[in-house]
Amino acid sequence: MNSPTEKTIDIVKRGLGKRYRSEKRFRFYGVFAIFLSLLFLALLFTSIISSGYSAFRQTYIQLSVDLPKADFDFNNLDQANYPGLIKNALREKFPQVSSRSDKKALYSLVSSGAAFQLQDLVKGNQSLIGTTVTIWVPADDDVDMFYKGYISRDVPEGNRRLNDKQLSWLDTLEGNGRIEMRFNTTFFSAGDSREPELAGIRGAFTGSMLTLLITLFLSFPIGGAAAVYLQEFAPRNRWIDMVEVNINNLAAVPSIVFGLLGLAVFINFFHVPRSSPLVGGLVLTLMTLPIIIIASRAALQSVPPSIREAALGVGASKMQTVAHHVLPLAMPGMLTGTIIGMARALGETAPLLMIGMVAFIVDIPGGFTDPSTALPVQIYLWADSPERAFVEKTSAAIMVLLAFLIAMNFIAVILRNRFERRW
Amino acid sequence: MTYTLIILILLALSTIAYRAGSTRALAVAKTAGVARLHSRPAYYGFLVSLWCGVPAFLLLLTWMICEPVVVDDLIVAGLPEKIQSLPENRLNLVVNDIKNLVDSKMVSGEVNEEISKAADHYRKLKATSRELAAVLVLLIATSAIYLVWRLISPTLQARNQVEKIIKGALIACSTFAIFITIGIILSVLFESIRFFKIVPFYEFLFGLEWSPQMAIRADQVGSSGAFGAIPIFAGTLMISLIAMLVAVPLGLMSAIYLSEYANRKFRAVAKPLLEILAGIPTVVYGFFAALTVAPFIRGSLSGFGFDVSSESALAAGLVMGIMIIPFVSSLSDDVINAVPQAMRDGSYALGATRSETIKQVVIPAALPGIVGGVLLAVSRAIGETMIVVMSAGLAANLTANPFQAVTTVTVQIVTLLVGDQEFDSPKTLAAFALGLILFIVTLVLNIIALFVVRKYREQYE
């Protein structure tokens, strides 16, 4: 009370404007924080999608290839000089090309995979020999990049991956309607390759699926059983406390440490084959186990005790109560937790690097002990590759991976909404 | 006989055992009266089936794990003296060749008579082992069926026994977590101890120079690798610090807004969107950091005359911070929601505005929980691998400049262990030592955080 005329309410009123302004400011900070976080999210998605959508299309060049009978030995079709035939076809199209370096530049317009495509074609249909076949072959990655707009004509020739002559040949081909953009099936049907235009995600995808299969078949039964014991049967004592603290800690151990464990125990001690989905699945099992146990326990806990008491009251044993009443009610929740754990395992990279799933593997794995890689590891490998064309492949592979993760989470959400009961 | 076939036969036997057990129970009951039977017939079936399947399967599993090791030893023992006395890695190569020869894969060396003889030996050993396994497993399974089947009588407490077995299995599963922890500690510790025998412990912890190169020949230049981990720890701390500077304010303010201000509709949209950030694989963040963020930071800051490295700590830290935002916000959200409404009402009743209530009542009350959440986030940041592998540098610079490239513990583990490995060189073992430090630091942070959060929860319950 500084002066007799001033009352407390006056002091409060004087400060009110400032306080309201600070209130507004604080509120704005909150909105701003959310906005900024979502902005990052949007930025991430737009950056991935804008650099990756073009990978789903691929430039193809149409060639008319002569298959003279003299070049083929019918007993051994693999022996024929398929790259030479492709080169002949290109030379025929541009007879004026004569110097060695120009020829080399001309040949480089077409992917080296063209020869293999021709080989498969001939082997599949021997009657083609002696005729001229017209086939669409994939263009080299530089040509592909040019048609997708990543290589500009305005850049001086020396700084360009395609020289002026190559561009003029391409213009001729395009004028004849011999260049086309098509849906890139190679990306989904091929394994890894050093040539961007021949590289695909099928090998990595198969590897991921095999790995996840092992993870699922090990971690769901073990995790579920552990959760059931800890939630329904375990006595409250020191030992169980220790197990619980342990599980919570394991859930927060960095994933790379699980990779070290896998390397030291599974590979060096038990001699599980390196780089195989088997060892990958084992390591990811250890990693997802705590997640599944924690989620399953929460699901079991949400089943009200009255259910258990009713079952016990009509004479069911403890085991029967759990098996016939509690478990069926908790199952949707446990499955949701498992799917979320699987989604985590699908996106995990670091431990797989430790156990050799980072190797360059062209073949598509056929079993659990074949060397293979996984989708996120493939992304990592491609991201490291210097070719410009691998940037779009990487982004496209990320889009596929994200699509799967979103689908899995969506299933989990549906499962939860559909089957979870509120008591 | 392959393992798959053995397992299939075992499954078939268990099914037969189930049928045999339950029909036997009914047959026994006929003479004594069904009401006299202790358990329902199905339990007798289960009991026979479990006794038939479980011990046989466990034996098979042990066999599968031990067979490669034993067979390897036997092959080596069967090799002539000359090859046996080779150094260990050469010997391994020979053994690999022998195996590849049998699997008709590529062979690294030339195939001489000794090798092909050993390959025959290996093939025989393997076949014998499989046959022996099949005979033993099936013998155990069938004799178990017979023995338990004979025991079935109305007084046999089949249900109790089945439940006992199942409970035992549940207990075994729940101890799995302990084994994983022990496995981690042992695997990391053993290799680390080997490392510390070569490089002294204090030199590793306090050395200022890191260049994990060991010479192949003794007289090679730069043969003395340096294993001082301080630059790595400093780099890890700097990147984590940048990440926390991004994640804590954004995450905390988001959580405050969502739990205190936002209406139900906004919350229902914004919260799942924020959580998407947590579900994106780290390799995607790493690619984002390397492809978009690092060039952007470099381009925009070099305009102001800063010299920014293309693998700057700033880019890695920033993207890592984005990744951790939902982690901080969901943990803070939990603890803020746990603050009793009565405390807010009390504050409003005294005339405080919302933000004053939050700043002076809610946050102080929720502080221990928030601190616990932040500690968990720090441990996350320290252990994060892919973002830094793809966007931070490899060279261990001891610098405080966030525009420079620094390296982290996880990056070093990956670079040391990916590629060719020799398990007796300090270069490889150093990765395990770093792993040990990483494990201990994150473990301590987690324990403190869990303790703090738990203590805090009890306060308002």
pLDDT, tens digit, 9 for 90 and up, residues B265-300:
999 899 889 988 988 999 999 999 998 999 999 888
pLDDT score, position B258: 92
At B149-185, the pLDDT tens digits run 888 888 888 899 999 999 999 999 999 889 999 999 9
CB contact under 8 Å between B284 and A30, yes or no, is no
Quick one: pLDDT band at residue B458, thresholds 50, 70, 90?
low
Quick one: pLDDT band at residue A153, thresholds 50, 70, 90?
confident
Candidates B68, B322, B418; nearest CB to A353: B418
B322 CB neighbours in chain A (<8 A) are 37, 40, 44
Which of the residue ranges A14-28, B23-37, B66-80, B84-98 has the most confident prediction, judged by mean pLDDT?
A14-28
Residue B315 has pLDDT above 50, yes or no: yes
Minimal CA separation from B355 to chain A, in Å: 5
Name which residue leads in pLDDT, A266 or A422: A266
CB contact under 8 Å between A347 and B188, yes or no, is no
Quick one: pLDDT band at residue A131, thresholds 50, 70, 90?
confident
Q: Mean pLDDT of all residues in chain A? A: 89
Amino acid, res. A417: N
Quick one: pLDDT band at residue B418, thresholds 50, 70, 90?
confident
Nearest CA to A61 out of A96, A103, A90 is that of: A90
Quick one: pLDDT band at residue B219, thresholds 50, 70, 90?
low
Residues 103-162 of A with CB under 8 A from B: none
Mutation to test the A interface, candidates B188, B386, B447, most A Cβ within 10 Å: B386
In A208-295, the DSSP E strands lie at none
Minimal CA separation from B292 to chain A, in Å: 7
Which are the contacts of B161, defined by CB distance < 8 A and separation ≥ 6? B47
Quick one: pLDDT band at residue A367, thresholds 50, 70, 90?
confident
CB contact under 8 Å between A226 and B390, yes or no, is no
Cβ-based contacts under 8 A for chains A and B? 259
Please state the length of chain A: 423
Minimal CA separation from A38 to chain B, in Å: 7
Residue B84 has pLDDT above 80, yes or no: no
* Percentage of chain A lying above the pLDDT 70 cut: 98
> In a 3-state reduction of DSSP, which class is residue A345?
helix
- For the whole model, what pTM was predicted? 0.89
Quick one: pLDDT band at residue A160, thresholds 50, 70, 90?
confident
Residues 332-351 of A with CB under 8 A from B: 343, 346-350
A395 CB neighbours in chain B (<8 A) are 287
Residue B344 has pLDDT above 90, yes or no: yes
Residue A135 has pLDDT above 60, yes or no: yes
* A49 touching B (Cβ < 8 Å): no
CB contact under 8 Å between A246 and B178, yes or no, is yes
Backbone torsion region of residue A226, taken as left when φ is above 0, otherwise alpha when ψ lies between -120 and 50, otherwise beta:
alpha
Bridge pairing between strands B210-211 and A179-183: unpaired
CA–CA gap between residue A353 and residue A293 (Å, rounded): 25
CA–CA gap between residue A116 and residue A78 (Å, rounded): 10
Candidates A12, A349, A394; nearest CB to B282: A349
Bridge pairing between strands B226-227 and B210-211: antiparallel
Quick one: pLDDT band at residue A1, thresholds 50, 70, 90?
very low
CB contact under 8 Å between B284 and A41, yes or no, is no
B169 CB neighbours in chain A (<8 A) are 225
Mean pLDDT value of segment A398-416: 92
Mean pLDDT value of segment A368-390: 90
Candidates B72, B169, B177; nearest CB to A250: B177
CA–CA gap between residue A286 and residue B187 (Å, rounded): 14
Name which residue leads in pLDDT, A209 or B453: A209
CB contact under 8 Å between B274 and A242, yes or no, is no
Minimal CA separation from B449 to chain A, in Å: 10
A33 CB neighbours in chain B (<8 A) are 249-254, 257
pLDDT score, position A408: 93
Amino acid, res. B301: L
In chain A, the residue whose alpha carbon lies closest to the alpha carbon of B373 is: A252
Cβ atoms B232, B406 nearer than 8 A: no
Task: State the angle between helix axes of B363-383 and B230-256 in degrees (0 to 180), rounded to the nearest 10.
Answer: 140
pLDDT score, position A296: 95
pLDDT score, position A423: 67
* H runs (alpha helix) in A253-388: 255-261, 277-301, 305-313, 318-321, 327-347, 350-354, 375-384
Q: Write out the two tokens for A258.
A: 């699980």
Residue B221 has pLDDT above 60, yes or no: no
* A64 touching B (Cβ < 8 Å): no
pLDDT score, position B427: 81
Q: Mean pLDDT of all residues in chain B? A: 86
Mean pLDDT value of segment B349-361: 93
* A408 touching B (Cβ < 8 Å): no
Cβ atoms A254, B382 nearer than 8 A: yes
* A266 touching B (Cβ < 8 Å): no
Which of the residue ranges B149-158, B203-212, B251-260 has the most confident prediction, judged by mean pLDDT?
B251-260
CA–CA gap between residue B57 and residue B78 (Å, rounded): 30
pLDDT score, position B403: 86
Minimal CA separation from B222 to chain A, in Å: 27
A410 CB neighbours in chain B (<8 A) are none
